[in-house]
Every structure is written in structure tokens, then in C-alpha cells.
Amino acid sequence: MKWRGRRGSGNIIDRRRSGGGRTGRGAAIGGAGGFGLLAVVVVGYFLGVDLTPLLNDGQMQQGGGEITAADEEAAQFVSVTLADTEEIWADIFEREIGATYDPAELVLFKGATQSACGGASAATGPFYCPPEERIFLDTAFFTTLERQLGAGGDFAAAYVVAHEVAHHVQNEIGVLGEVNAVRQRSDEATSNALSVRIELQADCFSGIWARRAEARFGSLEPGDVEEAMNAAAQIGDDTLQREAGRTVRPDSFTHGTSEQRQRWFATGYERGSVAACDTFAADRL
């Protein structure tokens, strides 16, 4: 993925350093805000990648410590990727939805932090918190993505950012709030099934972003789409449960199988329209 030297986003909030963080819109990379390591708290409905099946095996790496050169590079990468999503979704909203896109903020942290949706750590994975309209991301997760989950590559990391942005898009168009309201009134099986449709739509939206980024910025390189497809496969519910040594239980799925996640990402990439991503109307996921 070609990203170096390109424009970054003004919607980054940096909490990786101690000394009292900036929390307003437009805080640039290099801001401050340190928190002690918290217990792992799964962020319920809004978690982008549920890695808790792996926690009992001690396979997850926690963040924390000094900010390294690799951390700074990852932060710049996230900022450029976020800026790309802002430009692309602003155009889609104007052309396809007839609305103005209000971008999400993205909180960078190292180790742990708090959100209106609960605790956040490297172990919980990146997530979107609707009440704050913010994405929370510990860049140490990219190391976990590569070393523990076998999904390396910069475009795999970009897919993770694009997926969380897609949840913000769902929030902006009213889908996320409407579906989560139904989930709260539903039994566990129905709630899980609706969660899968939310997540697969976000994967589809991520595919749209990849297609538009390729056309608009020329940022994709050979193998990038394959990296994203591999990442989608590695974080499928069935694969995570299997890798954790657990029995695969479809009724417990909240994000979709590896095959489903790959297929809906491909749908968004190949068809390139929001209308093609209506997972809630799909008979077959």
C-alpha cells in the first residue's frame, strides 16, 4: 500500500503518552494521555474484532511502555488511512446517500484506556464506540494481527481501520442504532444473528473503500486485496474458535465465518456501491 508522504487526518486523538490527554476534535498525533493497564473488558455490541476466545491461552500481547519508532510509524499509517476513508466516504455520502458525512475521531492508545463503551486494551482489539462516535485502537494490535493471527501486511492493517470506520458509517446512516435497539430487546440467538449482519455489512463497506482508494489515490499495490481477504479470513468466528481449541458453535457467532467475511468484503470491492451491501435483506449470508 502506497501511503508514505501523504496527507494525514485531523481527527486523531493521541493518548499514548502520559501527562493529560487532548480529547477535542482535531487533536494531532503527538498529543498526550496515559492510563494504567486495565482488566480486559469486551466492548459488547461494538467490538470490531472479538479476540476474547484467545485470552485464556495467554496468546494476546498487551501494549504499554515507551513509544517506539515502529509505534510512530503505525500512528502515521493509521492517520493517512483514516484521511483516505474521510475523503472517500464524504464523496459516497454526497453522491449516493444525499447527505454530508461527519467523520469519526480515532483514539490511539498504548496499553489501555477508557471509553464510553467500556475499557479498551490491545487484547480487546479495535472497536467503534457509537456514543462518542470514536474508534479506539492500540497500534500494538497490528503486531497481534500479524504474529498471532497470521494476517500481516499494511493493507491488512488498513482493512482493520476501514472496518471500524464502516461502523461509523452505519451509525451515520442510522443502521447501527436501529439494529442495536432491536438486539437489546431480543434473545441471545437473535442478537448474535443481527450482530453478524452488522459486521458483514461493515466488511462490505470496507470493500467499497478499497475499490475507491485504488481508483482515487492509486494506493493499492499487487497483493494488497489478498492481504485484506486473508485478514478477513483470520478473524472469522469459526477460525478464532478453532484456533483457541474450542468447539465451533455457529449460534455463538457475532461477526460471521471466515468465508462470509471474505465474500462480503469481495462484494463491496467488486460492486462498489452501498446498495450492494444490504446484508439485512440477504437470504444467504
**Cα of 257 vs its chain's centroid, Å:** 16
Half-sphere exposure of 281 (CA within 13 A, CB side): 6
Which tops the pLDDT comparison, 114 or 235?
114
Beta bridge partners of 137: 108
Q: Is 281 exposed, middle or buried (0-12, 13-18, 19+ CB in 10 A)?
A: exposed
50 in Cβ contact with 58 (< 8 Å): no
Residue 14 has pLDDT above 60, yes or no: yes
150 in Cβ contact with 243 (< 8 Å): no
Residue 265 has pLDDT above 90, yes or no: yes
Mean pLDDT in residue range 152-168: 87
Residue 74 C-alpha cell reads as: 503505525
Residue 256 C-alpha cell reads as: 460471521
- The pTM of the full predicted model, rounded to 2 decimals, is 0.82
Q: What's the confidence (pLDDT) of residue 239?
A: 82
Give the chain's end-to-end CA distance (angstroms, integer).
29
pLDDT (tens digit, 9 = 90+) per residue, 203-240? 999 999 999 988 888 877 777 788 887 888 887 888 88
Q: Cell numbers 463503551 correspond to what residue?
A: 117
Residue 197 has pLDDT above 80, yes or no: yes
Residue 86 has pLDDT above 90, yes or no: yes
**How many other C-beta atoms lie within 10 A of the C-beta of residue 181?**
10
Q: What's the confidence (pLDDT) of residue 65?
A: 63
Residue 6 has pLDDT above 50, yes or no: yes
Question: Which residue from 63, 77, 70, 65 is spatially nearest to 29, judged by alpha carbons?
Answer: 77
Separation CA 139–CA 137 (nearest Å): 6
C-alpha distances in angstroms, 191 versus 45, 83, 253, 264? Answer: 9, 33, 10, 20
